[in-house]
A = this chain, B = another copy of it.
Amino acid sequence: MSEGVVRRSRRAGGERRAYVLDHAIAVVAERGLAATRYADVAEASGIAVSTLQGYFGSREDMLIEAFERATVVVVDAMNELASQCDGSWQQLVAMVDQGLSTPAPTWRMLMEFWTAAVHDAELQEHAAALAKQYREPYVKAVQLGTERGAFSPRFEVQVIVESLVSSIVGLLYPVVLGHFAPQVNAYREIVLAQLAFALRVSSEHVSDSPSGNSNVER
């Protein structure tokens, strides 16, 4: 009753809202963010354009919400691993493995939004928030492991984590553009070696990773 004229409830739609967003995510991954029109999402979801308008208020808001939904998955998965945080080398390895196995559609979605964020202040804030959330579990794991004596970092924690994340995200373009995709296993070894070097992992804490001790054996 007496809602402002232009103001639509940001939560209209209920279940259909989530349904629509999943389709929006797929469309963005397929066509690119800039090329994603209401008509595309409407066609993909079978819901009228004006209904989408009613749900989200504007195209941009719809896309931002699709972005949020898409990234929540990534962050949640990371937090799940972090919840069992014990600061061990194995945990970090698991986190890296998860990052390296990010599916191509997720990479495409992230790529679209990061690229758009460069020219859009609101998206940039979202991107910054995502970056922080994504890195937090890494930071915690490194800090805990350091306190427990498993790691003797050569650099600031932030730098180590950033370099690790960059190495993971560095896979984005090879993956989405179809270059060199299959050799992820070898890439994994190198990334872990880089991490082990930066953390100066104590040898007694390294067990499962062939590359993990490879930098010690030398």
Once bound together, how far apart are the Cα atoms of A168 and B183, in whole Å?
18
Contact residues, A160-181 vs B (CB, 8 A): 160, 162-163, 165-171, 173-174, 176-180
Q: How many residues of A contact B (CB 8 A)?
A: 69
Given the interface pairs A166-B171, A180-B162, A197-B194, the reply to whether A155 lies near B186 with Cβ below 8 Å is: yes
Is the Cβ of A186 less than 8 Å from the Cβ of B159?
yes
Contact residues, A99-128 vs B (CB, 8 A): 108, 111-112, 114-119, 124, 127-128
Is the Cβ of B163 less than 8 Å from the Cβ of A191?
yes
* A14 contacts the other chain (CB 8 A): no
* A39 contacts the other chain (CB 8 A): yes
Which of B4, B155, B176 interacts with A190 by CB under 8 Å? B155
Point out the residues of chain B lying under 8 angstroms from A158, CB to CB: 180, 183
Once bound together, how far apart are the Cα atoms of A34 and B120, in whole Å?
13
Point out the residues of chain B lying under 8 angstroms from A176, CB to CB: 118
